[in-house]
Structure 1
Amino acid sequence: MKYCEKCKVQVRGDMKRCPLCQRMLVGEAEGGPLYPEVRTMYRQYRHFFKILIFSTIVAAVAACAVNLLLPQSGHWALFVVIGIAGLWISMYFAVHQRNSLPKNITYQAIFISVFSVIWDLVTHWHGWSINFAIPCTFAVAIISMTVLGRLMKIPAGEYLICLIIDIIFGFIPIVFYAIGIVDVKIPSIICISCSIISLAGIIVFQGDEIRRELTRRFHL
């Protein structure tokens, strides 16, 4: 390993000059990479991702081929392709936010809600997205984040903001309920109740932590 006589440090790799003082190094270069290899999520589970990618491609191609052979059955292959795309988008959020459970829950809830509305529109709008998907998704997100935040002892700063975002989205069914486009009211009422109770609990029991977190994030 090369050595800098002035800085008294050893330098890996085949560098000729010290990165600190630019003085010529002495000694023999050591083999191997200068920086350690960083194992990404894809590298760690490369074989699994390859199988999953190939399987989804096979499923999409097979669905399209069968649909072309049976055109009288409708354009159902389009829904298969959209579903596979939704799976990969959801997995993208899961992988990129794997170190932050609150963000993962929030991103997944927003994506599922948006995706369900798009799917409902594509299938000639039956209203199940606003009757069931959106209220149930955010009710589950609010409850799970509240419970997991306590059980896993997640620092308040890591989940309070995400919980507030979920609560804000949880109030969306109030709009649907007020304008009368909700046919099944029970899921919306449950979601609205969870949002109000969670917001009240945060204000009463964690108001100081919210103020500190908002001050830290927005420099108030």
Structure 2
Amino acid sequence: MSKCRRCNIDVLDHSLSCPLCNGVLEYDPVKDPESEKDFLDHSQETGEKSKSVMYPDITPAMRRMRFVIKLTIFCSIVVEGILILINYLTYSKVKWSALCGIGLAYACFSLIYSFRHNKSHRKKMLVQAIFIMPVLILIDYILGYTGWSIDFAIPCVIAMLDIAILVLMIINTSNWQSYILLQIYIIIICVILTILMLTGKFFKHDFFMIIADIMSALLLGGTLVFGDRPATTELKRRFHV
């Protein structure tokens, strides 16, 4: 018998990963000593020489990845320095080098976060979507702030995230319920932005924000209604109800 320490569940078969969180399982012969022989036989069949799961050495790959990240950051700094110099020598009341710098900074952040943090792609999607929102506002501010970042760009980011989640749920039919928590986070973001919209101080055009709210609400509502019991089980597991 194997056990997942994260979910605190026992797995009766010879799976190497938890069916809920995909974490590595630990073999526990104390709870089921009769299955120890079966486990060892299974280990021999799969080429394992011991009870512990053998993993390849990823140190060289990690070193190469760290080198690529450092090289990318260094090149970005050099390129931005050159762009600032060109912008200074050919200045025409447009600080376009700052826009390029923001883009390079976001690209470096995405690269570092994607490869250095052992997080699920769902969390990476959420973090990058949240991070790009102030980036868009900053770009709008540098260009003289006309409000396009809040009125159009941010609602479009939310709508695109909803579409991406829907596509991933259709593709990953065996684990579609794992996207429910991400949908809840999006709803929270929509609620915050909607409150700001209702104040009348931040949004000049609320049409796109309303569309984003409707899309997010329909996606979560449809997931809960058509997901039925698996969706309810996922919510209980996530919130420990």
Give the TM-score, by structure 1 length.
Answer: 0.68
2:19 corresponds to: none
Residue pair 1:120, 1:128 contacting (<8 A) in 2 also: yes
Identity %: 30
1:120 maps to 2:140: yes
Superposition pairs of residues 28-47 of structure 1, within 5 angstroms: 37-39=57-59, 42-45=62-65
Q: CA distance change for structure 1 residues 137 and 41 in 2, over 3 Å: closer, same or farther?
A: farther
Superposition pairs of residues 12-161 of structure 1, within 5 angstroms: 37-39=57-59, 42-45=62-65, 49=69, 52-70=72-90, 73=93, 75-96=95-116, 100-153=120-173, 155-161=175-181
1:216 maps to 2:231: no
Distance 1:125 1:140 in 2: 23
Distance 1:146 1:215 in 2: 22
From the CA coordinates, give the structure whose radius of gyration is larger. Answer: 1
2:195 is matched by which residue type in structure 1?
A: V
Distance 1:36 1:148 in 2: 29
1:200 maps to 2:192: no
1:167 corresponds to: 187
Residue pair 1:67, 1:73 contacting (<8 A) in 2 also: no
Distance 1:151 1:74 in 2: 44
Higher mean displacement: 189-198 or 40-49: 40-49
1:189 corresponds to: 210
Q: What are the ranges of 5 or more consecutive residues in structure 2 without an aligned counterpart? A: 1-54
Q: CA distance change for structure 1 residues 46 and 177 in 2, over 3 Å: closer, same or farther?
A: closer
Distance 2:173 2:115 in 1: 22
Q: How far did residue 75 of structure 1 move? A: 4.2
1:209 is matched by which residue type in structure 2?
A: P
Distance 1:157 1:40 in 2: 35
Distance 1:95 1:76 in 2: 29
Residue pair 1:116, 1:133 contacting (<8 A) in 2 also: yes
Residue pair 2:69, 2:112 contacting (<8 A) in 1 also: no
Instruction: Report the RMSD for the aligned CA atoms in angstroms.
Output: 3.1
When the two structures are aligned, how many residues end up with a matched partner?
186
